């Protein structure tokens, strides 16, 4: 039998084996680190951090070729900047004209073969080569919250933005929020502004100046062979006038459109005016729930046959919206009514008058004359007046109850900037006991426009 000799592994071979194992471990670690670095570099090349989701808006109702892209959450000094894209094919010598409702700086983006310049109050883009689309960077004045909105877009003499939207980015403007009570500024809309500034219905009202109320309109009716003034109204767009339903109906049925006409920019009820224009009525839209004799839902729209051109004497009023209340200096709403209604002589006023009337509670109104106001008031009407001899009167029907909304919340300074909003429509008032004429010591009932904004926008937009 052979003798088997045991082999003893000494200390030196053990150390050699340990070094081999340690070396392999270190190499594996190095390879792992290299692999991770390669993956990281690859990720850097193929991935990128995303900012806030972009907001996309089509500002012109007539076309989907015009797109606004806006990135919320930018620093305050850059919040009023957005991208304007026009996705059309532009042949050489194309000319684009753009107007904004506030100061704007426009920069051409990319390698588009075009030049940007200004002419009068237009931004002009001229192409010197054929191009597929154009991208513009638009921003308002630096360090302000004012967003410039497109109000006019003309490409090669064709209008692309006749019904421009505005205000759609206002809710994203945050400003510098270093205090718990800070409120962002509201961009002032282009509506509700008088273009003429002077240095200096309505029973015992104040006489206005031409151009003070450029949205107030005179509505006339053809009666046999005579043209007769019947009501006021408020221009709210280039095609629509807002008024009372009882001004545009007979026994609750809409009149024929050809019986009515609208005069815009009018100041003198009888005689000529500097900037007045007449428009024929294309159609009369009466609220489907208008009811006599209590004048419930007393609201209607006149669609004009031809589009209005805005001038110093013809401008649209703004429509009331819920958040406007938060900008008013106080919780008490004071509005202005304008018109040619009966004055102290019990005759139509020859010049446009105005009066400021305060909205009163339903309870206060009913206590003044329970038999009348308890019968006619609903949740879509409100009372206003001072019960002091100043009120709307015969001939003021259909005119607007206008409230000034400042651009800065709670700003009650004499020089506050802002816009006039249609809050109500003159509907009815109490009559005197001795004549079928308004009693100026009673309150006036107004149709509450705030309750009909959806109805209005269904037709106007």
Three-state DSSP at 213 gives coil
User: Residue 90 forms beta bridges with which residues?
Assistant: 131
Give the residue carrying structure tokens 């002589």.
Answer: 345
Retrieve residue 143's tokens.
Answer: 């360090």
Asked if 76 contacts 174 with a C-beta cutoff of 8 angstroms, the reply is yes
∠ Cα 438 439 441 (to 5°): 145
Region of 336 (left: φ > 0; alpha: ψ -120 to 50; beta: rest) is beta
Catalytic-role residue among 349, 397, 419, 427: 397
Catalytic-role residue among 212, 298, 439, 448: 298
CA–CA distance, 304 with 316 (Å, rounded to integer): 14
Asked if 143 contacts 176 with a C-beta cutoff of 8 angstroms, the reply is no
Q: Are strands 95-100 and 105-108 parallel, antiparallel or unpaired?
A: unpaired
Catalytic-role residue among 246, 287, 296, 402: 246
Picking from 102, 251, 124, the residue whose alpha carbon sits closest to that of residue 173 is 102
343 in active site: no
Q: Are strands 240-243 and 300-304 parallel, antiparallel or unpaired?
A: antiparallel
78 in active site: no
| DSSP character at residue 77 | G
397 in active site: yes
Q: How far is residue 17 from each of residues 25, 30, 165, 372, measured CA to CA in Å?
A: 13, 20, 80, 110
What residues are annotated to the active site?
246, 298, 397
């Amino acid at each position: 039998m052979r003798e088997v000799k045991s082999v003893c592994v000494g200390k030196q071979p053990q150390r050699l084996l340990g070094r081999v194992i340690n070396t392999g471990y270190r190499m594996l670690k190095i390879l792992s680190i290299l692999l991770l670095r390669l993956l990281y570099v690859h990720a850097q090349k193929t991935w990128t951090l995303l900012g806030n989701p972009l907001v996309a808006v089509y500002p012109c109702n007539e076309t989907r070729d015009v797109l606004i892209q806006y990135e919320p959450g930018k620093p305050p000094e850059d919040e009023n900047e957005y991208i304007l894209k026009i996705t059309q094919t532009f042949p050489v010598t194309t000319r684009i004209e753009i107007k904004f409702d506030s100061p704007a700086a426009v920069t051409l983006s990319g390698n588009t073969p075009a030049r940007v310049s200004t002419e009068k109050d237009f931004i002009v883009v001229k192409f010197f080569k054929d191009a597929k689309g154009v991208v513009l960077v638009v921003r308002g004045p630096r360090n302000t919250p004012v967003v410039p909105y497109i109000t006019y877009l003309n490409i090669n003499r064709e209008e692309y933005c006749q019904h421009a939207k505005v205000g759609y980015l206002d809710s994203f403007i945050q400003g510098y929020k270093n205090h718990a009570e800070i409120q962002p500024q509201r961009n002032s809309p282009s509506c509700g502004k008088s273009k003429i500034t002077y240095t200096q219905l309505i029973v015992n009202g104040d006489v206005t100046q031409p151009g003070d109320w450029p949205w107030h309109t005179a509505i006339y009716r053809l009666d046999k062979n005579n043209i007769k003034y019947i009501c006021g109204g408020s221009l709210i767009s280039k095609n629509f006038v807002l008024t009372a339903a009882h001004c545009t109906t007979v026994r609750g049925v809409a009149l024929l459109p050809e019986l009515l006409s609208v005069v815009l920019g009018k100041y003198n009820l009888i005689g000529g005016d500097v900037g007045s224009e007449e428009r024929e009525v294309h159609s009369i839209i009466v609220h489907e729930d208008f009811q006599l004799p209590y004048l419930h839902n007393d609201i209607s729209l006149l669609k004009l046959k031809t589009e209005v051109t805005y001038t110093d004497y013809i401008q649209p009023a703004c429509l009331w919206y819920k958040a406007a209340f938060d900008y008013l200096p106080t919780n008490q709403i004071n509005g202005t009514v304008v018109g040619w209604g009966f004055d102290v002589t019990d005759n139509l006023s020859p010049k446009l008058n105005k009066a400021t009337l305060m909205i009163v509670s339903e309870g206060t109104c009913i206590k003044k004359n329970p038999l009348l106001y308890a019968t006619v008031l609903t949740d879509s009407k409100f009372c206003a007046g001072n019960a002091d001899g100043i009120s709307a009167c015969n001939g003021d029907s259909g005119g607007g109850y206008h409230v000034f909304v400042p651009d800065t919340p709670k700003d009650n300074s004499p020089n506050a900037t802002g816009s006039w909003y249609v809050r109500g429509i003159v509907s009815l008032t109490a009559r005197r006991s001795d004549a079928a004429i308004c009693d100026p010591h009673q309150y006036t009932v107004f149709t509450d426009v705030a309750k009909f904004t959806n109805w209005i926008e269904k037709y106007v937009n």
